[in-house]
């Protein structure tokens, strides 16, 4: 496959580029091509003429999006539109990475692909707007929603917990937000397979199983054999600029429909820990 990846220097983009080793790959960092620059986006797509464009580039600082709304909208929505325009001009298929945060978290069961979007933070709002625009512009687009990403070589929840556990005896972590931790190498492998299988529409792709942030933190500390205690707290006790949904677990039915299943999140975490990340 000829594939162009935007955001190839990010936490997920690096793994996507790795998973495409051996393919005809054009891997673009923000320095190579800022997706807010329509002319540059058009130029690199025309030069690479990909069969697939995988759009990993995003402003993913959920709290930062609340205070930098112009930047969040320019990257996560308008930038995605610029890439979609270039894909349409060149006849390329497009895969857009979206988020569990397009939902409000009030549903008791896992979210299905056709559940109503109702984001409660601005990051989720920018992703929801982008989804709607892209589906209107390019009906064959593949939108992949994922959640709670962690991986090598960048800021993520396990790396933060491991760092804190080396200097603090007790960690307070919220226990009333539930989702599915997702390991970037596992997600990258699934994205490449979805491209190979010609996926279109909305797909939910996360590691299987679910937990709260507190349960996730407790597993991290136990697997790393560290001595820090983990204390459960409520979101109200740990206020942040952006609200988070209480439940953002995504149903895997749409992924299973393509014959794909991702490993359980604890298995993914064991691999992350065993590779020594953050230790």
> Residue 276: what pLDDT?
74
> Residue 278: what pLDDT?
43
Quick check: 215 and 148 in contact, CB under 8 A? Answer: no
> Residue 277: what pLDDT?
47
Cα 183 to Cα 269: distance, rounded to the nearest angstrom: 7
> Residue 153: what pLDDT?
87
220 DSSP β-pair partners: none
- Roughly what angle, to the nearest 10 degrees, separates helices 213-223 and 265-274? 40
Catalytic residues: 123
What b-and-e string marks burial along 169-204, b requiring 16 or more CB atoms within 10 Å of the CB?
eebebbbbbbbbbbbbbbbbbbbbbbbeeebbebbb
Encoded tokens for 90: 């060149």
**Which CATH code for domain 2-154+180-209+249-263?**
3.40.50.720
Q: Which residues have C-beta within 8 Å of that of residue 170, sequence separation ≥ 6?
A: 228, 229, 230, 231
- Residues in the chain predicted with pLDDT less than 70, given as ranges, are 277-279
- Roughly what angle, to the nearest 10 degrees, separates helices 157-165 and 213-223? 60
23-36 confidence digits (pLDDT tens)? 999 999 999 999 99
- The helix (run of H) or strand (run of E) holding residue 182 is strand 182-183
> Residue 279: what pLDDT?
46
Q: Where are the domains of the chain?
A: 2-154+180-209+249-263
Instruction: Using the Cα atoms of residue 175, residue 177, residue 179 and residue 181 in order, give the sign of their dihedral.
Output: negative
């Amino acid at each position: 496959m000829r594939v162009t990846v935007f955001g190839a220097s990010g936490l997920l983009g690096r793994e996507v580029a790795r998973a495409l080793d051996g393919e005809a790959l054009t891997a673009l960092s923000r320095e190579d091509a800022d997706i807010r620059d329509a002319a540059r986006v058009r130029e690199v797509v025309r030069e690479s003429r990909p069969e697939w464009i995988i759009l990993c580039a995003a402003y993913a600082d959920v709290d930062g999006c609340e205070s930098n709304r112009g930047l969040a909208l320019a990257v996560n929505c308008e930038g995605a539109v610029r890439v979609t325009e270039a894909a349409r001009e060149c006849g390329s298929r497009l895969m857009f990475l979206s988020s569990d945060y397009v939902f409000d978290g009030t549903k008791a069961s896992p979210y299905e692909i056709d559940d109503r979007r109702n984001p409660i933070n601005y990051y989720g709002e920018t992703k929801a707007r982008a989804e709607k625009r892209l589906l209107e512009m390019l009906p064959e687009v593949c939108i992949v929603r994922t959640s709670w990403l962690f991986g090598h070589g960048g800021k993520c929840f396990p790396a933060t917990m491991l760092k804190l556990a080396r200097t603090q005896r007790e960690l307070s972590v919220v226990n009333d937000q539930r989702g599915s931790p997702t390991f970037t190498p596992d997600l990258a492998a699934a994205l490449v397979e979805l491209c190979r299988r010609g996926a279109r529409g909305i797909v939910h792709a996360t590691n299987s199983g679910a937990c709260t942030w507190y349960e996730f933190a407790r597993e991290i500390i136990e697997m790393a054999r560290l001595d820090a205690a983990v204390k459960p707290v409520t979101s109200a006790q740990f206020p942040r600029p952006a609200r988070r949904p209480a439940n953002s677990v995504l149903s895997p039915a749409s992924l299973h429909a393509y014959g794909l299943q991702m490993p359980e999140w604890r298995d993914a975490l064991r691999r992350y820990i065993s590779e020594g990340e953050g230790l």
